[in-house]
Amino acid sequence: MLEGLLIGLQTALSIQNLLMVIAGCLIGTFIGMLPGLGPMSIIAIMIPVAISMGDPSAALILLAGVYYGAIFGGSTSSILLNAPGVAGTVASSFDGYPMARQGKAGKALTIAAISSFAGGTIGAILLMIFAPALSSVALLFHSSEYFALMVVGLSAIAAFAGTGQVAKAMLMTVLGLIMATVGEGALFNLPRFTMGIMDLQSGFGFITLAMAMFALPEALFLVLKKKEMSGDSGEISELRISGAEAKAIAPVIGRQSLQGFFIGVLPGAGATIASFLGYAVERNIATKEEQDEFGKGAIKGLAAPETANNAACTGSFVPLLTLGIPGSGTTAILLGALIALNVTPGPRLMIDEPQVFWAVIMSMFIGNLVLLVLNLPLIPYIAKVLSVPRNYLIPFILFFTLMGAYIGQNNATELLILVAFGVCATALKFADYPLAPLLIGFILGGMMEDNFARSMQLYDGVAFIWERPMTLGLLVLAVILVLLPSFRARRAKLRAQGVADGD
Amino acid sequence: MALDRWIALILLGICLAYGYTAWFMMDAGLAPFMRRAPIWPSSFPKVLSVLAIISCLIILLGFEKGEPKIGEIDYRRLGDYHIGQAMLLLALMVAYALLLRPFGFLGSTMGFLVIGSAILGERRWIIMIAVAAIATFIVWYLVQQVLGIYLRPLPGFLGG
């Protein structure tokens, strides 16, 4: 591990990569602050830039910096304006905004910065410990287990979607898988489902799809909404926190770093769930007097979600880097970028390209440090971004989405596909269909089919399902994950009707 | 019928067409040696089409009852929002896609940014044009010179 750390330091501390971390964090913070633009949109917009750099370590470092910056920027706008730019920072506004209203905006931002730093750093240490262990287990996996693991990952995403949403999330996932089958597969040199259109021979462009699913609908929602996104950014004073306050939030940060990290590792449960759960847990274990403070500007209530969401962001890198399976929309986009750069994340990553793996981990430390050092003094100026007029902002967001799709393919048809899918995605968003599962399904689709085909060929049929116990176990787990929510909903309904249940 | 079920109905149609292609049409053109393989190009799509149709039907028939939730935007009252502006911006994006090659990058992008802010209600023309021109040139310079991706700057008849 020490050797790896040194390799990572060597790569991450080169001038170019340090600049990448700083640039990524700054870009992420600035854009993440704009309400309506989440980390997925920002990373999707940044991908063409990252890919054209050609160096996978530098690209991943840049994108990881953008990711952290976006989460941090999102908390700035939820604290100052009560307008979270990112779902993962909604919980931060529960106590952050009341603090800002009481004139303690500076203190709130400082607490957010410190908790984010601690969450991210502890998360990176845990990643360093768990990723190598997990990837040595993953080396025992065959293609059939990989296939089963992806099925588990995708069903977990559907299962965590919430009540009344499981079928929708499942449909979106399957739709993503279906879209991945369009075009020529690597296994069979046959164009499939292209409807005779030449432009579909190579399948749908992943960047185009990412832009259409996230950036475009969010920009259209900004247009549709009447509310101007301006608010009382006001004066920012009182940046310091007292020793007593630091003592109060230290245990919260410790607990939430661990909890957030492990929630982040689970597929489908990312920063959003981690932050809400972190808030709920801290509220429940607080003393009676402190509980009354929650929601009215409690420092613990701000520190908990901030720590948890950053730790979860780090945790979500574990399945990506060790198994090559993204657990969230953001890591799915990162996976797509990595594949475009000819790096295949998975258990072999640490052996084949240790400099990529360790450089990413080291850049997480550096990125967190940059965010803390750079953003604390810059907080009053950063808040100025919120005063950019919407009339200028929206055309630029739309333009960057178009450019992102165009640069990748240099093909104007791609832009039309982008607009068409963007309209479809907006309609889906109106009807409350989750969009991230579609993209995750799309990105995993090709890999899933390859692994499925390989196991079919090795076992000459579907016998691999029962001949390999681990595969069977994983597939059973996947079925349970999908059926569990509806079973629980059914039981709750029966109980509500007064019917006694079996246990 | 609520919008989510309408969407499920449309998706059901798409999935049925997909499933029909996978089950009945794709295998016809399969080479003889491929027929002996345990997996065909249509195997995975066949499984997917069944799963997709099942989930469409679950939503369509309302087996999974969730409380009706109004999201950020209530689509039943779309008229209350700036729907006109959104439609115009979408049309502008389509126009940009079609005119990018013939008009060149610099001209069409400047036009896009200026008209885009005009649609949103901005009327300070001089600032708009200045901002658009500077931004267009910076983006063109970065993409063309720094990243090395060719973008035709000027219209074709000017030799761009």
Q: What is the pLDDT of residue A328?
A: 74
B3 touches chain A (CB under 8 A): yes
Interface test with B, best of A171, A464, A484 (most B CBs within 10 A): A171
Q: What is the pLDDT of residue A229?
A: 46
Question: Reduced to 3 states, what is the DSSP secondary structure of residue A237?
Answer: coil
Does residue A502 form part of some domain?
no
Note the Cα B38 to chain centre separation in Å. 36
- The set of residues, in sequence order, having a beta carbon less than 8 Å from that of A260 and lying 6+ positions away, is A119, A123, A271, A274, A275, A278, A307, A308, A309, A310, A311, A312, A315
Q: What is the pLDDT of residue A502?
A: 41
Q: What is the pLDDT of residue A482?
A: 83
Q: Find the farthest-apart pair of alpha carbons in chain A and give their distance in angstroms, rounded.
A: 70
Does residue A305 form part of some domain?
yes
Q: What is the pLDDT of residue B70?
A: 60
Mean pLDDT of B33-38: 80
B86 touches chain A (CB under 8 A): yes
**A487 vs A484: CA distance, rounded Å:** 5
Does residue A375 form part of some domain?
yes
Residues in chain A where the model's pLDDT stays below 70: 1, 34-38, 81-87, 160-164, 186-187, 226-239, 267-270, 379-380, 382-387, 408-409, 496-503
Q: What is the pLDDT of residue A164?
A: 66
Nearest-Cα residue of chain A relative to residue B98: A412
Does residue A419 form part of some domain?
yes
pTM tops 0.90, yes or no: no
Number of domains in chain A: 1
**A29 vs A73: CA distance, rounded Å:** 4
Mean pLDDT of B100-112: 88
- Six-digit token string for A160: 């965590």
B residues 32..61 contacting A (CB < 8 A): 34, 37-39, 41-45, 48-49, 51-52, 55-56, 58-59
B residues 15..34 contacting A (CB < 8 A): 15, 18, 21, 26, 29, 34
Is B97–A402 a contact, with Cβ atoms under 8 angstroms apart? yes
Does residue A167 form part of some domain?
yes
**A286 vs A281: CA distance, rounded Å:** 9
Q: What is the pLDDT of residue A239?
A: 65
The three state secondary structure string of A422-442 is: HHHHHHHHHCCCCCHHHHHHH
Model pLDDT for residues A368-389, shown as the tens digit of each residue: 888 888 777 776 676 666 667 7
- Six-digit token string for A412: 């104007």
Q: What is the pLDDT of residue A233?
A: 47
In a 13 Å sphere around the CA of A403, the CA atoms on its Cβ side amount to 27
Q: What is the pLDDT of residue B93?
A: 92
**A294 vs A92: CA distance, rounded Å:** 11
Confidence bin at B88 (pLDDT 50/70/90):
very high
Chain A partners of B58 at a C-beta cutoff of 8 Å? 167
A164: left (phi over 0), alpha (psi -120 to 50) or beta: left
- The set of residues, in sequence order, having a beta carbon less than 8 Å from that of B70 and lying 6+ positions away, is none
Q: What is the pLDDT of residue B160?
A: 54
Q: What is the pLDDT of residue A230?
A: 44
Chain A partners of B81 at a C-beta cutoff of 8 Å? 224-226
Helices (H) and strands (E) in chain B, counts: 6, 0
Helix (H) or strand (E) holding A50: helix A39-53
Does residue A503 form part of some domain?
no
Q: Could you tell me which of B23, B44, B47 has the C-alpha nearest to residue A185?
A: B44
Interface test with A, best of B44, B74, B77, B126 (most A CBs within 10 A): B44
Is A430–B75 a contact, with Cβ atoms under 8 angstroms apart? yes
Does residue A501 form part of some domain?
no
- Six-digit token string for B34: 């491929």
Mean pLDDT of B33-44: 82
Q: In terms of residue numbers, what domain contains A450?
A: 2-496
**A265 vs A317: CA distance, rounded Å:** 7
Is A171–B3 a contact, with Cβ atoms under 8 angstroms apart? no
Helix (H) or strand (E) holding A468: none
Supply the DSSP symbol for A501. Answer: P
Tell me the sheet residues that pair with B41.
Answer: none
Chain B partners of A185 at a C-beta cutoff of 8 Å? 41
**A448 vs B51: CA distance, rounded Å:** 15
Q: Could you tell me which of A233, A232, A283, A214 has the C-alpha nearest to residue A442?
A: A214
Is B82–A392 a contact, with Cβ atoms under 8 angstroms apart? no
Does residue A239 form part of some domain?
yes
Burial of residue A115, with CB atoms counted within 10 A of its CB: 0-12 exposed, 13-18 middle, 19 or more buried: buried
B94 touches chain A (CB under 8 A): yes
